Amino acid sequence: MYILGIESSCDETAASIIKADPKTGRIQVLSNIISSQIEIHKKYGGVVPEVAAREHVLNILPVINESLIKAKITPDSLDLIGVTRGPGLITSLITGVETVRTLAFAWNKPVIEVNHIDGHIHANFIDPASKINYPALIMTVSGGHTNLVKMDKTGKIKILGETRDDAAGEAYDKGAKMMGLGYPGGPIIAQYAEKYQLDQKRNPQKTDKRELPINLPRPMINSVDLDFSFSGLKTALLYQLQKDKNWRERLPEYCYEYQRAIIDLLISKTIKAARKIKARTVMLSGGVSANNELRARMTETVARQLPGVNFLVPAKGYTTDNATMIAVAAFYQIKRQKPTDFSRMRVDASLQLK
Ligand code: KG4
Ligand code: ZN
């Protein structure tokens, strides 16, 4: 099957073509085109929905065209189109869905509407070498979502835990904004934290006695549920910065401590959830899973604390928003359900995972 995936839920306009074998499940990525608007939104310190929507309108057809050229196929060869229906920014989603409605009509192709989070989950299904054993536990950590999900071998999912306030990526982005570091905050905080770690390795230094110790909380880390909370951590960072007149000189240390708190929370609840459901595979997904420290610590912790459980994380290019994950999710969905009638397609900005 040749499947075209389209993603436009936030600030990336993306189109991808995969070749998927329904018998073996093997996936070949023929093209993965992403037009990112990060440079445009950077100057505003975050995504401006109206600007994002206009950019999607300008980019979507060239991006789709490029995905076809790169894959060396014409629209006649397509068997299915998958498109993100939600959650996301409403005007951004509309561009993707309305474009697909038109193409499905013009090309006479079946359509599958995909939940963006389900797309992130399926980024782990791209690599043919990945061996997934069930029940599997997936933690999706992105700019808008932090979810712990159980998946059984039929593909049925159950939400085990989620954030009660900010998402993990949002904690990175808001923390970075507070420290005047720009957007998106995740990769910048990660870079400063790495610098601090390297400096400490080369030249270990204790915090100067005159300096304020950086003590950040781990909200809800010991709660019995599998939910997360990051807003208290963000506020604690703000109070620390306000109290410390030297915080600018200690930026790498602040980034290191803040990142460590976020990652401690993510790892602790993932291990707890994996034990609870007796998971046989643990997977990470979403933009925050691009983080080297999270990838390394999760690999190490799963190996140490969950013997016999394998750990998967998508290749870096498939952690942040892309359309390959949407095409793959559509491939798995079409095995279980009929395509959507294109006249009935509807965006849903707050679409829930089910
Ligand atoms: O999945 P994604 O591209 O978009 C959403 O669905 O939200 O995730 C974007 C989020 C942003 O919050 C960004 O700061 C974070 O992922 N992110 C990272 C890294 N790269 C992106 N967070 C931590 N470390 C990174 N290396
Ligand atoms: Zn995303």
Tell me the mean pLDDT per 10 residues along the chain, length 354. 97 97 96 93 89 95 98 98 97 98 98 98 96 98 96 95 97 97 95 96 80 93 97 97 95 97 98 98 98 98 97 97 98 96 95 92
Q: CA separation (Å) from 108 to 86, 113, 305, 351? A: 23, 16, 51, 27
pLDDT at 22: 95
Residue 206 DSSP label:
P
Nearest CA to ligand 1 atom 16: 287
Nearest CA to ligand 1 atom 23: 186
Assess contact for 297 and 262: CB atoms under 8 A: no
pLDDT at 189: 98
pLDDT at 80: 98
Atom number in ligand 1 closest to CA 88: 6
Q: Is 181 exposed, middle or buried (0-12, 13-18, 19+ CB in 10 A)?
A: buried
- C-alpha–C-alpha distance, residues 151 and 156, integer Å: 6
pTM: 0.95
The helix (run of H) or strand (run of E) holding residue 312 is strand 310-312
Question: Positive or negative, the Cα torsion across 290, 297, 222, 192?
Answer: negative
Using alpha carbons only, give the angle 48, 46, 142 rounded to the nearest 5 degrees: 110
Nearest CA to ligand 1 atom 13: 186
pLDDT at 309: 98
| H runs (alpha helix) in the chain | 38-42, 49-71, 90-107, 116-122, 168-178, 185-202, 231-243, 251-277, 292-305, 324-334
Ligand 1 centroid to residue 218 C-alpha, Å: 20
pLDDT at 66: 98
Q: Is 153 exposed, middle or buried (0-12, 13-18, 19+ CB in 10 A)?
A: exposed
Ligand 1 centroid to residue 317 C-alpha, Å: 12
Phi-psi region of 155 (alpha: psi -120 to 50; beta: other; left: phi over 0): left
For 135, other C-beta atoms within 10 Å of its C-beta total 16
Using alpha carbons only, give the angle 143, 347, 168 rounded to the nearest 5 degrees: 10
- C-alpha–C-alpha distance, residues 146 and 139, integer Å: 7
pLDDT at 176: 97
Indicate whether residue 190 lines ligand 1 (CB < 6 A). yes
- C-alpha–C-alpha distance, residues 144 and 193, integer Å: 22
Tokens of 13: 């306009």
Cβ neighbours for 242, distance < 8 A, ≥ 6 positions apart = none
pLDDT at 86: 97
